[in-house]
């Protein structure tokens, strides 16, 4: 298990390396964990691109496929 500080550092490292190498990365995490990171003063919202995956709505899931 990692804490918010470790998660923020890991995402920050991935962001830096991917920018340098011209790559993309995927982070799968709960939105409440991202909120914890943002409370530390780190924001990765500028790096979030569509599609945003969610199960908050009936048509959510992974590209419309719902995992039970």
pLDDT of residue 12: 92
R_g of the chain, CA atoms, integer Å: 14
Give the model confidence (pLDDT) of 28-39 as tens digits.
888 888 889 999
Q: Which residues contact 39 (CB under 8 A, 6 or more apart)?
A: 4
Q: Residue 15: which domain range? A: 1-68
pLDDT of residue 55: 67
Q: 61 pairs with which residues across the strands? A: 54
pLDDT of residue 47: 82
How many domains is the chain built from? 1
Spell out, as residue ranges, where the chain has pLDDT lower than 70: 51-55, 57-68
């Amino acid at each position: 298990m990692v804490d918010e500080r470790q998660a923020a550092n890991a995402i920050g490292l991935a962001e830096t390396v991917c920018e340098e190498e011209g790559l993309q990365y995927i982070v799968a995490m709960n939105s409440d964990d991202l909120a914890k990171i943002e409370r530390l003063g780190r924001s990765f919202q500028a790096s979030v691109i569509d599609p945003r995956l969610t199960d908050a709505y009936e048509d959510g899931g992974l590209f419309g496929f719902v995992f039970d």
